Amino acid sequence: MTSPLLFKSILAATLPFILLLSPVAFAKEGIVTLQTVGPDRRVAVEIADTPEARAKGLMFHSNLRDGEGMYFIFQVTEPQIFWMKNVPFPLDILFIGADGTIVAIAPNVPPCHREPCPLYHSVKPVRAALELPGGWCDKYGVRVGGKVEYRP
């Protein structure tokens, strides 16, 4: 029989690993293909499709590498507003219509270091948004009017 003290010690030592490996700890992921002026580009994305995930976004992430992004899926097609609170690196924010067309790009949006943070509007109704590392759209030739395709 295991003593209660030993059990508590084992539980305390293993609980962080159990939580780390649990399905709840893993974010939803997918692939987004972007039409560019050159060859199409694929980006591995973390999916934000719940109110909580959309509100958190990339807050508190330490970086975003080339070929990575966050894809926001909205339940209703309508204008959207983003900000950069607690995101320590610049982003390109692509606003995507219901048909997968990029309707607006907020390029190289800087981090917000103090409130009030600037707001970035889609202006037109959108069904999704994609955050990429700042300067990514210029580097690869992503333009308004291009297409975005998401695959889980």
Q: Encode pLDDT of 15-50 as tens digits.
A: 344 333 333 334 689 999 999 999 999 999 999 999
Residue 87 lies in a domain: yes
Residue 3 lies in a domain: no
Q: Which residues sit opposite 73 in a β-bridge?
A: 128
SS3 at position 69 = strand
Position 131, amino acid: E
Residue 85 lies in a domain: yes
Residue 4 lies in a domain: no
The total number of structural domains in the chain stands at: 1
Residue 46 belongs to domain spanning: 27-151
pLDDT the model gives residue 111? 94
Residue 136 lies in a domain: yes
Question: Using CA of residue 42, residue 106, residue 120, residue 145, what is the dihedral sign?
Answer: negative
Q: What is the CATH number of the domain that holds 80?
A: 2.60.120.1140
- Please determine, for residue 10, whether its predicted confidence score (pLDDT) is greater than 70: no
Residue 57 lies in a domain: yes
pLDDT the model gives residue 22? 36
Residue 15 lies in a domain: no
Which H/E stretch holds residue 32? Answer: strand 29-34
Q: Which residues sit opposite 43 in a β-bridge?
A: 32
- Please determine, for residue 66, whether its predicted confidence score (pLDDT) is greater than 90: yes
Name residues whose C-beta falls within 8 Å of residue 151's C-beta, 6 or more positions apart in sequence. 30, 31, 32, 33
Question: Using CA of residue 73, residue 79, residue 81, residue 82, what is the dihedral sign?
Answer: positive
The pTM (predicted TM-score) of the whole model is: 0.80
Residue 92 lies in a domain: yes
Task: Tell me the H-state helices in 81-135.
Answer: none
